[in-house]
């Protein structure tokens, strides 16, 4: 798509698409033999920058020569190419709903960031919003802000309707307002269906993502600048800017603004499903958001990620080191109870109540399986050609897709 394709009005989007020209991606290859166990429904050769899965659709972003991003849509189970367009270089896939594929271009060929919503049926741009960067996306809205250079400080929050790009709500906020998750852990201001910001004067606001309605608006008595926050239930964890020594995170009651407790300066408090975890030191330790008391500690298990609102994924090895098949499992975030252990199966991805795992074969290949977290039932869905590097996997209700350095494989779930 030409630069005007993302930044221009929706009426001009089809023209911009035609000017760029449609480009077909690699032909999908069916499984090697009908009925053969573990054969993929289809495969696609070539590396991908990113991919999303929704319903029976698989969306890919690839490098396009000589300069651009090829965005494609394929349909399960046959792997039919539904549409394919060359967009600006740097375009990223952000979110897929039933009707819209949200994409973002942080630079738009030097003219500033652009957000756009593509029709999932044909890939044509339905709306575009120049001058905004994505903050968070749900099926209903794209929450955005003017460029803030990744600092977390935002001058305005605007929620665009995902379907048509119309402004659903907006909020002007004072200079120095920050929206973001815990420092060094991730930019994640949306918690459940609410978005949290902290104003320069220490006021914490939590708004409903879809409507913009204020859920909490409380002034916190702080004398130091805040560099991040995390909301857990009716508690906000505020992270001070070090001045110059590390400063302790503070837990605040959102109803009254009262400081509930202060953590140690060395604490690394972060989201842990619907609880709070301290990632400092070895193992995994859960903390009561209201009291700061330790709920449980697993010294041999390291937090590797969140599976769903109740469960966390843990590993017995370094979660960054993918060279070994370290034992993995699932813990109840509230109690520390071991809900499920996967042995030497590595966790690659998740869906509600489901984990996608990988197991190393002696011949260098690996198995891809799905595991029901509650029952422990494991079903092998396919064979992957290697162990390293670990593939990226996505799952919908009907298929599992994994992408490696040179191939994408899709299996029936």
Q: For the segment 65-111, what is each residue's pLDDT rounded down to a tens digit?
A: 888 899 999 999 999 999 999 998 889 999 999 999 999 997 756 67
Q: What is the mean pLDDT of the chain?
A: 80
Predicted local distance difference test score (pLDDT) of residue 22: 39
Cβ atoms of residues 79 and 28 within 8 Å: yes
* Omega of the bond leading into 389 within 30 degrees of 0 (cis): yes
Q: For the segment 29-65, what is each residue's pLDDT rounded down to a tens digit?
A: 554 434 446 889 999 999 899 999 999 999 999 998 8
Predicted local distance difference test score (pLDDT) of residue 189: 53
Q: For the segment 315-334, what is each residue's pLDDT rounded down to a tens digit?
A: 876 555 555 556 788 889 88
Q: Nearest CA to 68 among 28, 34, 19? A: 19
Give 380 or 15, the one with higher predicted confidence.
380
Dihedral over Cα of 97, 100, 106, 109: its sign: positive
Give the neighbor-by-neighbor strand order of the sheet with 194-198. Answer: 190-191, 194-198, 203-208, 214-219
**What distance in Å separates the CA atoms of residue 310 and residue 74, rounded to the nearest whole number?**
33
Concatenate the DSSP letters of all residues of 265-307 into one string: TT--EEEETTEEEE-SSSSEEEE-TTT--EEEEETT-EEEEE-
Predicted local distance difference test score (pLDDT) of residue 163: 94
How many of the other CB atoms lie within 10 Å of CB of 165?
Answer: 21
């Amino acid at each position: 798509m030409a630069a005007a394709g993302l930044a221009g009005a929706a009426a001009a989007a089809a023209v911009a698409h035609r000017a760029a020209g449609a480009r077909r991606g690699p032909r999908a290859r069916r499984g090697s033999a009908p009925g053969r166990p573990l054969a993929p429904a289809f495969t696609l050769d070539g590396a991908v920058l990113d991919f999303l899965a929704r319903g029976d659709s698989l969306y890919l972003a690839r490098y396009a020569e000589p300069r651009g991003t090829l965005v494609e849509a394929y349909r399960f189970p046959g792997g039919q190419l539904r549409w394919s367009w060359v967009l600006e270089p740097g375009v990223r896939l952000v979110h897929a709903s039933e009707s819209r594929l949200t994409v973002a271009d942080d630079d738009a060929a030097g003219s500033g960031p652009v957000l756009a919503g593509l029709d999932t049926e044909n890939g044509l741009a339905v709306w575009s919003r120049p001058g905004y960067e994505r903050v968070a996306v749900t099926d209903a809205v794209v929450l955005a802000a003017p460029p803030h250079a990744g600092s977390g400080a935002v001058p305005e929050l605007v929620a665009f309707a995902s379907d048509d790009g119309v402004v659903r709500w907006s909020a002007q906020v004072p200079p120095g307002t920050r929206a973001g998750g815990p420092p060094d852990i991730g930019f994640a201001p949306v918690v459940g269906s609410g978005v949290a910001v902290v104003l320069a004067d220490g006021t914490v606001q939590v708004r409903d993502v879809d409507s913009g309605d204020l859920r909490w608006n409380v002034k916190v008595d702080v004398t130091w600048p805040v560099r991040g926050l995390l909301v857990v239930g009716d508690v906000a964890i505020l992270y001070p800017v070090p001045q110059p020594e590390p400063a302790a995170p503070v837990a605040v009651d959102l109803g009254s603004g009262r400081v509930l407790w202060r953590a140690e300066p060395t604490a690394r408090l972060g989201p842990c499903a619907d609880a709070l975890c301290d990632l400092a030191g070895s193992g995994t330790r859960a903390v009561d958001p209201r009291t700061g008391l330790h709920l449980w500690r697993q010294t041999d298990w390291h937090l590797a990620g969140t599976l769903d609102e109740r469960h966390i994924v843990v590993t017995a090895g370094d979660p960054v080191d993918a060279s070994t098949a370290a034992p993995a499992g699932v813990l109840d975030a509230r109690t520390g109870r071991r809900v499920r252990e996967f042995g030497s199966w590595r966790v690659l991805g998740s869906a509600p109540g489901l984990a996608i795992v990988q197991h190393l074969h002696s011949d260098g290949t690996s198995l891809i399986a799905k595991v029901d977290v509650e029952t422990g039932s494991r079903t092998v869905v396919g064979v992957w050609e290697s162990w390293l590097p670990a593939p990226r996997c996505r799952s919908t209700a009907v298929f599992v897709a994994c992408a490696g350095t040179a191939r994408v494989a899709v299996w029936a779930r």
